[in-house]
Every structure is written in structure tokens, then in C-alpha cells.
């Protein structure tokens, strides 16, 4: 009789332990699934955010486009959204004291990069003042064009300051200094040896007395 009671007790203990084991395994599975979903969520949000704010460090709201709206509608914390908007707004605003003289000075979206010293902003073709990069087929052409595309990415914002002394333009292009974010594209091309100064135009340009122009040969 005692043996039967003992066996019954062992059997109940076994089933109890079995139940606890399955419960723990099920709970563990739930935890694993939750962690996987959490990791996927954390992975997705930074990628979307990064695409908004990492185009050479600046981007327009237009360039952010659907991604910005997608992140905005998701469960991203309010503080992150505020930082994204703050970054976008900051990069779309330029200090207008950068504008020299009285000729046209405007901000807009970069539509296209033709080559190292020519690009389109708001549909206006811009020829950089005082600098000259290699032409198609010449050594350094691809490098200069890629440098400009990296510094002034398509879809990002730029400030264009037209040269007061060359308002008639050059072959239908507006001659200007272009700022992309915190960088003067004209100066940066010279600094990194992707362009040369054009001495012939030094006395024909409003920017001939700028520090960068003097430094590189004007």
C-alpha cells in the first residue's frame, strides 16, 4: 500500500515538473520572440532616421520625403522626432550674412551635378566662380565630380550667392559661390586639389578678395 502511494506521489511530481518545464519553455519562447521584435524595431528606426539626416550631414524636408512621414507615424519617441525636425530645419536655414553684394542670393534644393564646378539648384544651372575643375575625359574629372556630389548631395539644400561682377552669367549659367551646409564648395574644391583658380577672372569677380581666393592665387 505504501508503495502504491509512493508511486502515485512520484507520478504527480513528475507531471508537475513536466508542466513547469513546458511553462518555462513557452515563456522563454515568448521572451525570445519579444526580444527579436524589439531588436528589429530598434534596427529599423535608426536606419530610417539615419537616411533622413546623414546625406553629407544635411538634407531638405523634400529629400526626407516618405521616410520622414513613415517615421513620424511610427512609435518613435517624441524626443527623437523633435531632434529629427530640429536637424532638418537647421540644415534648411542659412545665415544670409554669407550673401555678398546686391546680386541674387537664394537657397534651394540641389537637382543635379553636371561636373565638379557646375550644378543645378532649384532648376538654375550654376557655374562656380573663380574655380575650374577638369572637363570630361580629362584626368581628375570623375574625382572632382564625385567630390561635389558628396559635399553637395542631390536633394540636399544649398545657398547660392551670385557674383555681382558677372551677372550676365556664363553660357546661360549663373556664376556664383555655392554653400552646402557649412562648406563653401568653391573653396573646398581648391583645398582638396580638385580645382584650380582662374587668374583671368580674378579682377572680374566680386569674390577676388575673399581669403580663399587670395590664398589660391587671386
pTM of the shown model: 0.60
Average pLDDT over residues 50-66: 43
Alpha-helix residue ranges (DSSP H) falling in 157-209:
185-191
Q: Report the distance separating Cα 81 and Cα 217, nearest Å.
A: 46
Q: Which pLDDT score is estimated for 101?
A: 87
Q: What is the mean pLDDT of the chain?
A: 77
Instruction: Select from 181, 179, 39 the least CA-distant residue to 105.
Output: 179
Q: Which pLDDT score is estimated for 47?
A: 46
- Cβ(133)–Cβ(141) under 8 Å? yes
Q: Report the distance separating Cα 107 and Cα 91, nearest Å.
A: 11
What residues contact 60, with CB distance under 8 A and at least 6 apart?
88, 91, 92, 109, 155, 156, 157
Domain boundaries, the chain: 2-91, 99-215
Looking at mean pLDDT, say which of 1-10, 13-22, 50-59, 159-168 comes out highest. Answer: 159-168
CATH architecture of 99-215: Beta Barrel (2.40)
Flag the least confident range among 80-89, 129-138, 174-183, 208-217.
Answer: 80-89
Left if phi > 0, otherwise alpha if psi is -120 to 50, otherwise beta: which for 216? Answer: alpha
Sign of the CA dihedral with 185 first, then 215, 132, and 106 last:
positive
- Cβ(78)–Cβ(124) under 8 Å? no
C-beta neighbour count of 8 within 10 angstroms: 10
Amino acid at each position: 500500500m505504501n508503495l502504491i502511494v509512493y508511486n502515485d506521489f512520484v507520478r504527480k511530481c513528475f507531471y508537475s515538473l513536466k508542466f513547469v518545464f513546458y511553462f518555462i519553455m513557452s515563456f522563454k519562447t515568448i521572451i525570445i520572440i519579444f526580444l527579436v521584435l524589439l531588436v528589429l524595431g530598434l534596427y529599423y528606426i535608426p536606419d530610417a532616421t539615419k537616411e533622413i539626416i546623414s546625406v553629407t550631414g544635411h538634407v531638405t524636408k523634400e529629400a526626407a520625403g516618405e521616410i520622414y512621414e513613415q517615421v513620424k507615424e511610427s512609435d518613435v519617441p517624441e524626443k527623437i522626432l523633435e531632434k529629427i525636425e530640429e536637424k532638418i530645419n537647421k540644415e534648411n536655414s542659412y545665415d544670409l550674412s554669407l550673401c555678398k553684394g546686391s546680386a541674387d542670393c537664394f537657397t534651394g534644393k540641389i537637382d543635379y551635378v553636371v561636373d565638379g564646378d557646375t550644378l543645378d539648384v532649384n532648376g538654375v544651372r550654376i557655374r562656380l566662380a573663380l574655380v575650374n575643375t577638369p572637363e570630361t575625359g580629362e584626368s581628375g574629372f570623375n574625382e572632382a565630380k564625385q567630390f561635389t556630389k558628396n559635399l553637395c548631395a542631390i536633394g540636399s539644400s544649398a545657398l547660392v550667392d551670385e557674383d555681382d561682377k558677372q551677372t550676365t552669367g556664363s553660357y546661360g549659367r549663373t556664376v556664383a559661390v555655392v554653400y552646402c551646409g557649412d562648406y563653401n564648395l568653391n573653396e573646398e574644391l581648391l583645398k582638396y586639389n580638385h580645382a584650380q583658380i582662374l587668374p583671368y577672372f580674378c579682377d572680374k569677380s566680386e569674390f577676388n578678395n575673399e581669403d580663399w581666393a587670395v590664398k589660391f592665387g587671386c
